[in-house]
Structure 1
Amino acid sequence: MPPALVCYHLTTAPDVLLHAYLNDLPVFRGPHRGPETQQGGANHWLVPGENTLTLDVLRAPRPRSTGAPPGEPIRFVLFTAADPVHAPKDVTIIHEVRFSEIIERTPEAEHEPYHYTARFDLGVPVNAPVYLSSPMSDVDCRGTPELHQAIADLHASLAAGDVDRFLDLCSLRNEEYVFAYEGLGPTVDSLRDVARGFFASGPIVEPLEPDALHFEARALGRVVCVSRADGRSAIEARTRDDEAAVLRVDPWLTRKDGAWRIFG
């Protein structure tokens, strides 16, 4: 059975600091400068059957007494749309949480960290991601030589303008994304065309700075998310023609056939 299209909608107020995860994989990590609405497909975070949503609220104001928007500084909704093109508002909510529901557990605190976890069954089919069959790994924040090499190889392909090497290193990522949205989203060829267009513009690549990289084991160590300790992306590049066109990459890696591969 082909997968259903599952979407998410996240709204946060300007003074919110929030980390959101689906199945322990990052969906959103604030802060930001103003009110933010983020939405799109969620299939690439999901697994068949039971799923887990985690919200770590590090800073947020109390919602207004009305309990209605804009009184809710955080709202997360996971839903399916029967026909997202022709009837995008005809949706079925799978899971929804508002910040007012979270703070009911600790009503005495005005501002403090909150941790919210919910487990729910999707009730619709999705394809199983490759990392579910990967072995668990014990990786600390410094990473391993193999992980550092995987990131260095990706950075080097960008710096050298080697689009074929870049696409080879990202092949599992593209295949996984297309698999997650089977028949519902882009094709591998269209993803490759986007990359070729970026390379054709002559990217200017920021230095890698390996010592600044931060490796975070997630999903029981089956996934390693790479970022920078200072909050910037692990790899950044911009085009010569349009400096506003920036590629920011915080790779996710998993072990496949004995090697760390970029899959997200």
Structure 2
Amino acid sequence: MAHTNYVYRILHRPASHARALINGVPIYDRIVPDNVAPIGPVTHWLVRGENTITVELSPSPRSPLAPDLGPHFEISVRLAEDLDRAIFTWDYPKSVAALSLPIDLPLVGGGVLRIDDDLPDPVYRRGSREEFPVEGTADQRAAVQELYDAFATRDAGRFESAMDLKVSEFERYYGPQPLSRAEAMKRMNEPWVMEPFDAHDLRFDRYVDGRVAYVRRASGKPAVRAQHRDEPTLGWGANFYMTRLDGRWRVFC
């Protein structure tokens, strides 16, 4: 891992629904009840050269938790080793007003971030272009069920196989992760109760000419979700991204 790493930082307050996309893939999609400021790794979505960052904003009701706050959204990209310095920033309403454009919502904004460092090529760029409906194909639904069943049955080998591309891609960008296999298996064997699998509730959003499928559920629940049997406050859930490599849909992020 001899490349520079980058993080995104978002500042989002109520009264807007915000989506942020990098190179056509959504990395953020939320309506918030209060101010939020998420930060996370973003190198695995970037390429050397020009990167398109798009923000889609639409109005949403003001939050009763912060009724005086109007919409505001800012996204920045920063060096992981120098979080105080932004190399890209887009801010609503400042960035829109600076162009003498109307700031009424809805609107689409953003810009271009140029990266001159050598970066690994995102795996989805090797994926095949696919046509599929939002309800998904039999192969896509089967890939999600494979992941679900592997966790539900505590089948470590099967679960590792379903997640091997995601793990290898993360390590390709960010190096070996501190959580050992033994620790991961211990967590996996906690008494989790799985949310029932419902293939009819799954939705597969198509991006980047069908190279990327974002897996979610129409009901708004995570694509795969579990609750701790003995500690009701503990639970986890995830939506995820898939790409089709060598004729098989695989989770990569």
Interval containing the TM-score (normalised by the shorter chain): 0.7 to 0.9
5 Å-filtered alignment, 1:1-264, equals 2-59=2-59, 73-81=72-80, 83=81, 88-89=83-84, 91=85, 93-104=86-97, 107-108=101-102, 110=104, 112-181=105-174, 183=175, 186-187=176-177, 190=179, 192-193=181-182, 195-264=184-253
Using a 3 Å threshold, how does the CA distance of structure 1 residues 168 and 108 change in structure 2: closer, same or farther? closer
CA–CA distance in structure 2, aligned partners of residues 115 and 77 of structure 1: 16
Using a 3 Å threshold, how does the CA distance of structure 1 residues 58 and 102 change in structure 2: closer, same or farther? farther
Q: SS in structure 1 opposite 2:132?
A: coil
Using a 3 Å threshold, how does the CA distance of structure 1 residues 160 and 225 change in structure 2: closer, same or farther? same
Q: CA deviation at 1:115?
A: 0.9
Using a 3 Å threshold, how does the CA distance of structure 1 residues 72 and 31 change in structure 2: closer, same or farther? closer
Deviations 1:2-59 (A, max 9, x none): 2211011101012221111112222111112211110021112212222111111012
Can you give the 5+ residue segments of structure 2 that lack an aligned partner in the other structure? 62-68
8 Å CA contact 1:8, 1:76 repeated in 2: yes
CA–CA distance in structure 1, aligned partners of residues 45 and 26 of structure 2: 9
CA RMSD in angstroms comes to: 2.4
Q: SS in structure 2 opposite 1:231?
A: coil
Q: How many residues are aligned here?
A: 245
Q: CA deviation at 1:98?
A: 0.4
Bigger mean CA deviation after superposition, 201-210 or 95-104: 95-104
CA–CA distance in structure 2, aligned partners of residues 204 and 94 of structure 1: 43
Query: Residue type matched to 2:173 in 1?
Result: A
Query: Residue type matched to 1:208 in 2?
Result: F
Deviations 1:41-100 (A, max 9, x none): 111221222211111101279xxxxxxxx987111110114x35xxx53x3x22100002
8 Å CA contact 1:24, 1:219 repeated in 2: yes
8 Å CA contact 1:174, 1:191 repeated in 2: no
Query: Residue type matched to 2:72 in 1?
Result: P
Q: SS in structure 1 opposite 2:221?
A: coil
Can you give the 5+ residue segments of structure 1 that lack an aligned partner in the other structure? 62-69
What percentage of aligned pairs have identical amino acids?
25
> TM-score when scaled to structure 1?
0.84
